[in-house]
Amino acid sequence: MKSTPNAHLMLSVTTLAGWPSTWSITFTSPRPAKAPILHDEFVSSEMNRITFNQLKLVEAALAGIESGDYGQCRNCGTTISPKRLKAVPWAKYCIACEEHMSQASELAEVGQQVA
């Protein structure tokens, strides 16, 4: 393969992104032909991850129905509002706790970016 500035750039990008060395990008034309495939694989794996997480939440909600604690906030123990459960039947936390946790995780992410 003839080394072009594009190929050199893509090699740097894959090294920086930590892609497995077994993944190769070959250039058959001036534009990277494999890029759309890698994007599709990424989207597919993200969709699988989201679906898997959703399934776990639904299973946890079903277990909550079995044990009788469905609809109770896992953090503070208050009853999650029926309106929230109608919108998000697998909700584990009341709105106040959910917002508090998402703010805390956002702050942690900012902290990691600054550190």
Binding site for Zn ion (CB under 5 A): 73, 75-76, 94, 97
Choose among 59, 76, 7: nearest CA to 35: 7
Nearest distance in Å: CB 84, Zn ion: 11
Shortest reach from residue 112's CB to Zn ion, in Å: 25
Distances (CA, A) of 44 to 24, 39, 41, 57, 98: 19, 9, 5, 20, 28
25 vs 98 by CB, closer to Zn ion: 98
- What is the residue-wise DSSP string for 32-44? -TTHHHHHHHHHH
Q: In terms of CB distance, is 14 or 72 closer to Zn ion?
A: 72
What is the closest distance, in whole angstroms, from the C-beta atom of residue 97 to Zn ion in the complex?
3
95: amino acid identity, one letter: I
Nearer to Zn ion, 61 or 97 (CB): 97
